[in-house]
């Protein structure tokens, strides 16, 4: 009997949102995404500790930023030995408001991959969807370094990414859902806000329809899911990056899974074209309390985990 994970594969590119290699082997995603939080979680497990120790042994005298990037690339290389597609590797969140530093860090990461004979076509550089991060991506894409813009919570962010010719955007379903649920408090009605009515689902749907209506090549990858209902409501999206727990739930579910998002539907009901520049981007983002707050919060959280990852590297012994 077929299950929803297989049905989803027929509609959408399935991506694993994890740093755990065994999960990838079990569920066989096409791509995989990582972030500082996932790498921090993985590297504290005994199975992955040798990757950190190897970086310290071989590159302990290098600057800490290089050691961190070598650790990220070590995880990426292991992942690419499992998945047939791409891996997303994130630039330090502390650089989210520094365009030039983000460009330089991305070039360093790609250089490490290429030195290991990994073609850049198999790597997506993740950057926060700040104005500065999007401009960094514009430069990188022009150099053939493909980018995944993360911490994306609004259509204005997505449109700016499209104008920068970014390869892929990752709107965060679950974090949008979290904000609206918290804001509603006791008035929140879970059943009424489920599926296509989920505010996170609606945000991704809006971005997908806009991109498809205007033949924008930037891919849309829904991310940060809280339940499989959110995933089911986005079946047909270009890509969906899914945690191990929810991959397991999809693999256990045998209900039918129809496409919810299609190019034909998007073109049949095209939204109004939106012009964008830096002033419009900053103004519209500022007007969206949810997007403003979740972008700032996401950068803070990823920064905190990046600092913890730094500390782990510093504390690890340098073997002779």
* Residue 299 in domain: yes
30 pLDDT tier (thresholds 50, 70, 90): very high
Answer whether residue 317 shows pLDDT above 90.
no
Domain residue limits at 262: 4-315
Question: Residue 148 — φ and ψ, nearest 5°?
Answer: -120, 110
Length of the chain counted residue by residue: 320
Please say if the pLDDT value at position 193 is more than 70: yes
Q: What b-and-e string marks burial along 46-57, b requiring 16 or more CB atoms within 10 Å of the CB?
A: eebeebbbebbe
* Average pLDDT for 245-267: 97
Q: Read off the pLDDT of each residue in 100-125 and give the average, rounded to a whole number.
A: 98
Return the active site residues. Answer: 126
CATH code for position 140? 3.20.20.70
Q: Kindly compute the dihedral angle of the four CA atoms of residues 230, 13, 157, 130, in this order, to the nearest 10 degrees.
A: 110
Residue 320 covered by a domain: no
Judge contact between 144 and 121, C-beta under 8 A: no
Sorted by sequence, the CB contacts under 8 Å of residue 115 that are 6+ apart come out as none
Q: What ranges in the chain are assigned the alpha helix state H?
A: 4-9, 21-27, 36-43, 49-59, 64-80, 99-115, 131-142, 155-163, 173-184, 199-213, 228-232, 244-252, 263-268, 278-287, 289-315
149, 133 Cβ separation under 8 angstroms: yes
Angstrom distance (rounded) from CA 139 to CA 23: 34
- The pLDDT value recorded for residue 319 is 58
- 100-113 average pLDDT score: 98
Cα–Cα dist 134/126, whole Å: 10
Q: Domain tally for the chain?
A: 1
Q: What is the DSSP letter of 190?
A: T
Q: What is the pLDDT of residue 320?
A: 54
Mean pLDDT in the chain?
96
Average pLDDT over residues 94-117: 98
| Structure confidence at residue 179 (pLDDT) | 98
Nearby residues of 35 by Cβ (< 8 Å), 6 or more positions away: 90, 126, 150, 302
**What pLDDT sits at residue 12?**
98
Mean pLDDT, rounded, for 159-165: 98
Q: What are phi and psi of 232, to 5 degrees?
A: -60, -35
The rounded distance, in Å, linking the Cα atoms of 190 and 240 is: 22
251-274 average pLDDT score: 95
Predicted local confidence at residue 36, as pLDDT: 83
Evaluate if residue 61 carries a pLDDT over 80. yes
In a domain, 169, yes or no: yes
Provide the pLDDT for residue 35: 87
Residue 229 in tokens: 């209902």
Evaluated on CA atoms 195, 201, 207, 211, the torsion sign reads: negative
Name the percent of the chain lying above pLDDT 70: 99
Q: Would residue 156 count as lying in a domain?
A: yes
pTM comes to 0.96
36 neighbors 59 (Cβ within 8 angstroms): no
Q: CA dist 55 to 19, 90, 91, 147, 305, Å?
A: 17, 18, 18, 25, 18
Instruction: Show the tokens assigned to 80.
Output: 């690419």
């Amino acid at each position: 009997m077929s299950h929803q994970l297989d049905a989803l594969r027929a509609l959408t590119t399935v991506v694993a949102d994890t740093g755990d290699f065994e999960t990838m082997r079990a569920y066989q995603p096409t791509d995989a995404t990582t972030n500082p939080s996932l790498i921090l979680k993985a590297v504290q497990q005994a199975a992955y500790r040798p990757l950190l120790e190897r970086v310290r042994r071989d590159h302990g005298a290098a600057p800490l930023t290089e050691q961190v990037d070598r650790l990220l690339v070590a995880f990426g290389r292991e992942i690419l030995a499992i998945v047939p597609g791409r891996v997303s590797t994130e630039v330090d969140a502390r650089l989210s408001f520094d365009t030039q530093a983000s460009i330089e860090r991305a070039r360093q990461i790609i250089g490490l991959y290429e030195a290991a004979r990994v073609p850049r076509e198999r790597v997506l550089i993740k950057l926060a969807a700040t104005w500065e991060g999007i401009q960094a991506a514009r430069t990188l894409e022009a150099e053939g370094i493909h980018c995944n813009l993360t911490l994306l919570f609004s259509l204005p962010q997505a449109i700016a990414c499209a104008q920068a010719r970014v390869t892929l955007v990752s709107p965060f379903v679950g974090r949008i859902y979290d904000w609206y649920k918290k804001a509603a408090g006791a008035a929140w009605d879970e059943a009424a806000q489920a599926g296509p009515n989920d505010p996170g689902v609606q945000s991704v749907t809006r971005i997908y329809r806009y991109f498809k209506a205007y033949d924008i090549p930037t891919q849309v990858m829904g991310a940060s899911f809280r339940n499989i209902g959110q995933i089911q409501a986005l079946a047909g999206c270009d890509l969906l990056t899914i945690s191990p727990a929810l991959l397991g739930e999809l693999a256990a579910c045998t209900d039918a899974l129809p496409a919810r998002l299609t190019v034909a539907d998007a073109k049949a009901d095209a939204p109004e074209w939106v012009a964008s520049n830096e002033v419009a981007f900053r103004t519209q983002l500022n007007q969206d309390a949810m997007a403003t707050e979740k972008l700032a919060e996401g950068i803070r959280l990823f920064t905190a985990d990046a600092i913890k990852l730094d500390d782990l590297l510093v504390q690890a012994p340098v073997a002779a």
